[in-house]
A and B are shown apart, each in its own frame.
Chain A
Amino acid sequence: MIWRFAKKEFLLNIMTFKFAVGTTLCVLLTAVFVPILGKAYQERLKVYNENITYNERELGKVTVYKNITPMIYRPPSVLAVFSEGLEKQLGNSATIEYDKVPEITGAAANHYLSIFSVFDVSLIFKIVISVLALLVAYDAISGEREHGTLRLMLSGTAARYQVLLGKLVAGLMVLVVPVTIAFILGWLILLFFPMVELAGTDWIRFGLMFIASLVFIATIYNLGLLFSCLARRSAISLVLGLFMWIIFAVVIPNGSAHLATQIIPAGSEDAMNEQIRLLQQDLRDESWKAFEASGRKSMSGRQQVSDVSGGGFGHGYVRSCTAATWHNNTLRYSFEVPFQIKYANKYAEVKDNYLRDLFEQTALANRLSRFSPVSLYENIMSTLAGTDMASFRQFIEAVKPYRNDIIEYMRSHTDNFSSPTFWTPCTKEEIETRPKGDTASPLELGDLPRFTYQSDLVGSLRRAIPDLAFLIFGNVLFFAMTFVAFLRYDVR
């Protein structure tokens, strides 16, 4: 019985004008914009590759150990085509330095582009298809009442739950069509796009995105059905549904972010900078004290240095200096650098404190936005695409141990930073004869630890599941309410 209702509804819906227009629009948008988004991804990949090449080239030029300051770049995510998330909003690089711990930053390549809102494939789903779902659902019950067909249907042997379930199944079947077409089309275009490589995990992520989209569309459909059972006239149910849609799609996503910033006040950036400034002073005092306590003396005499540029990563190195400078520099680095490393961690602590507030705000905004299926869907998609906050944090967390490896490498190769090779490639004899030109040969860095980063599929899944559960819960809730409303519906 249910099946027969579903089939009838399905055929009726699929021939409607709204279905034709909605599906065409959706397919058209996907067909036009996936190639453009793919192109934008290519551009990002090109920049990424340029940066990597530059990095390697500079690493080959490094002449002294203190200049080992490679940049680590986060590879752009292919799935950002489907959900951009924070991909273009957060900085995607980290510099490895012994006196600074990398932190997450808000450095977009071009911050003027923030005058535009985000555009990705999930926008097409969360806006166009959700409107389509509402349009399919709004007259499912109240429309049939207006035409009088609902009375006819219920005067037969069909039970009310059968009618409702039939409507639900039919609606979902109808909506699966545009979602599937758009997804497959988008994926195919991406597959055959030059330079785009899709890993195995991308397939899993993509599959889950598809499932999440279906669940989302079902939620909106159920919502429309609910309003259809609540109102007697289909025009009213449409108006109610659209108002709700505006609240879910526009008001809650923007409002929750704003509310979160009001509820949890962020710490002051100035206060943080001030704290760091004080720590920098402490650093100078402490290293000076340690130096005095050691009883070693710096050499007096004529101090003269001549630098040469081209020591890798835009740094220079000392080519010639006087004996006094030679002695003092070596001494200074061997004392200062361990303290600088220690204080880098202290700065990071201060920064972490500041960032913790921001992360809390973001988490709260996400929790608040769970009232809206549209926001839930957005969160799930960005998590699956690996463009959410947590993915960026993971990247930065992965860079931190690598920095320690590099520092350890520098330490072990320069005898606790006390070897002159830390700051000059020349020997004492060479440096006093003052060779001309930029002739030092680069360091042999074959055994330098390399950075590898794998995006974490399991972590993404673990973060996406609560949101997905919420979305499914919303589905069930809306359907239960629809069920109750329909049981009490006056069909006359």
Chain B
Amino acid sequence: MIRQIVFKEILENLLSFRFILSLLLVIALFAVSGFVFVGKYRQQSSAFWEKTNENLTGLSERTDKLYRLAFYKQSVWRKPKPLALCAEGSEKSLPDCYTFDVFSNNLPEIRGQGNFTLSHFSSIDWVFIISMILSFLALVFTYDSVSGERENGTLRLMLSNTIPRHKLLLGKYLGVLFSIGIPLFIGLLVSLIIVVVSNVAVFQGLDWLKILTIILLSFLYLSIFVFLGMLISSRTAHPANSMVILLLIWVVVVILIPSFGRIISEVSGKAPNPAELERRLAEIWTDVWSNADRYGERAGNWAGDPKHPMNNPPARARLRNASTSAQNKAREDHHNKMLAQAFTGRNLTCFSPTVIYRRASEVIAGTGINHVVNLQDQVREYQAGLKEYIRSKDAEDPLSLHLIFPEQSSARSWRAISHNSVDLATVPKFQERDLALSQSLKLAIWDIGLLALFNLVFFAATFVSFLRYDPR
């Protein structure tokens, strides 16, 4: 019985004007998203490899002397992800470059940002199309599903048969879900074919699994809107009224609430002020140098010859280390404040399914702000590993002072760090790791649960309203 109702719904939808219009719009948008991604990914990955190789060349040039390796300012670039096709996660306006030597950690920078004078525009990825356009279509397909049939009188006819109401409801739900599933599937296929044929990004087995997860997530998300549409439709007598309410709800949930995040972040706490950070760094510098004696006698003095009576290498090392670690900490604090601000805004807006859906797909695709944070952690880890490597290599050199501290002139003329050459093969090199599917699922599990909860709540509400609906 359900199958018959589903078929009837699908057929009715297939022949409607709105279906043709949405089919065209959705396929066009997905095709555009495929082409845009191919162009962007090609350019990004060539830039990425060029920059990364440049960095490696620099690294290999500095293996002749260990201390030069320690002071080499490496630049690690964020690797473009093939899954940005699904969820780009506004990565183009997030930091993409980390510069560091083994001592200092700078704030991540935005280098290959493109045109910063253009106002931020959303990239057209799957998540954008699905969260904006398809959620809207779900409402367009459902706003008259109950009240429209009531107006036409067909609801009475149907219910006068032996069909129980819950079966009718389920049939309608599946019918609509399939009807929007058709343009969605064709669109996804078109976009995937464009990407696969152009051969820029190679999806591995894991990527396909992630894509599948994102598609499932999309259905979970769209199903909320289908339920919502049916709920409002079965609470109102006229389809015109249900359209009005649905449109306004859509505007609030999909457009307004996700943008509230910014304003909530801005007023929720003390905003990090870059000028203040600069001042703080200068203060630390002044403080350390004007109290140089705190770190040992003559710590503030420096002469080229390590034996010169003016020098006190261990004190100098303490001073330099203290100043760098204090500055690192100040930067870290500032950076954490920046992140906390952004996360506050997003967490406080996650009563909108759109925010949840975007966040979950970003996590699964491994893009967006989580990608940036994750990469930052990997860089820190690598930095510590490299420092450890330098320490161990330095320990092998009897001529070195074994003082590993951030002052290149001392390392050079005092031989504070070994001058021996090292083998490039043994030097640790940075390599970005993707999160495994299980890990990203673990991160996204709350969001998936929330989406399921939304579904459940709306389903229950729809069910109750429909049971009490007066079909006359």
Contacts and interface: CB of A to CB of B under 8 A. Distances in A.
Interface of A: 17-18, 21-22, 25, 29, 33, 36-37, 39-40, 43, 47, 50-51, 54, 71, 85-86, 89-90, 93, 104-107, 109-119, 123-124, 127-128, 131, 135, 139, 234-236, 238-240, 242-243, 246, 250-251, 253-255, 257-258, 260-262, 266, 269, 309-310, 314, 355, 358-359, 361-362, 365, 389, 438
Contact of A235 (B144, B285, B341): B144
A17 B256 CA distance: 22
B122 A254 contact: yes
Given A117-B259, A361-B118, 10 more contacts: A18-B244, A47-B271, A107-B274, A109-B272, A110-B338, A111-B338, A115-B261, A127-B251, A246-B136, A361-B115
Nearest to A260: B118
A113 B275 contact: no
Pick the most buried of B29, B113, B119, B272: most chain A CB atoms within 10 A of its CB. B119
Interface residues of B, number: 77
Shortest 5 CB-CB contacts between residues of A and residues of B: A106-B116, A314-B282, A116-B262, A112-B342, A114-B93
B25 interface: yes
B259 A119 contact: yes
A365 B121 CA distance: 11
Contacts of B289: 309
A110 B248 contact: no
Contacts of A71: 275
Contacts of B18: 239
B368 A115 contact: yes
Contact of B338 (A18, A51, A112, A358): A112
A114 B114 CA distance: 14
Contact of B256 (A39, A40, A127, A253): A127
A85 B346 contact: no
Interface string B230-273: 00000000011101110110011001101111111111000111
A40 B274 CA distance: 17
B120 A114 contact: yes
B2 interface: no
Given A113-B262, A250-B132, A47 B113 contact: no
B286 interface: yes
Given A36-B267, A40-B266, A109-B271, A123 B119 contact: no
B118 A114 contact: no
B133 A250 contact: yes
B355 to A, nearest CB: 10
Contacts of A127: 251, 255-256
B140 interface: yes
A273 B261 CA distance: 36
Interface in B134-164: 136, 140, 144
A242 B140 contact: yes
Nearest to B272: A110
B276 to A, nearest CB: 8
Nearest to B345: A116
B117 A106 contact: yes
A50 B273 contact: yes
